[in-house]
Amino acid sequence: MSKTAIYPGTFDPMTHGHINIILRSAELFDRVVVAVAKSSGKNPFFELPQRVELATLALAGHANIEVVEFDGLLVDLAQQQQANIIVRGVRSIADFEYEAQMAGMNRQLMHGLETIFLTTHSEWADLSSTLVRDIARHGGDVSKFVPASIKQAILDKLA
């Protein structure tokens, strides 16, 4: 039986921490769907199509990873993708508390939907997309936090 997992997020921008969770997920599951959320409640740095494009570039060469965009309930996407596993990366207790609450709600909305938590490797524990954007906005070097293509896209956006 094939196992499909979904790793959702805004990925604004995708970082090495995200990529680490995705690649580790790809070793655990037959298929990983990276779901780039529209996230209309936030004011994104990159528009949705560009976030999808950047994620696709960053994950190229991994046959069992697919990047899609979505807007709406994650459980609807899980049903569309025939997935019953959600992958979430957790950096801290605060992340876990929030993600555990979301996992419970998703389980209530879709029977059989499980959430798997992967702890972030220590080198990425302090990394967030927000911090990457802030560092870049203030002229800092983000090359150790994001792939080169994403670094270039950030620099282009700020130019």
Instruction: Provide the annotated active-site residues.
Output: 18, 42, 91, 129
Give the burial class of 81: count Cβ atoms within 10 A of its Cβ; 0-12 exposed, 13-18 middle, 19 or more buried: middle
In what order do the strands lie in the sheet containing 4-9? 65-70, 31-37, 4-9, 85-90, 114-119
Give the burial class of 102: count Cβ atoms within 10 A of its Cβ; 0-12 exposed, 13-18 middle, 19 or more buried: middle
Q: Which two tokens stand for residue 17?
A: 């921490």
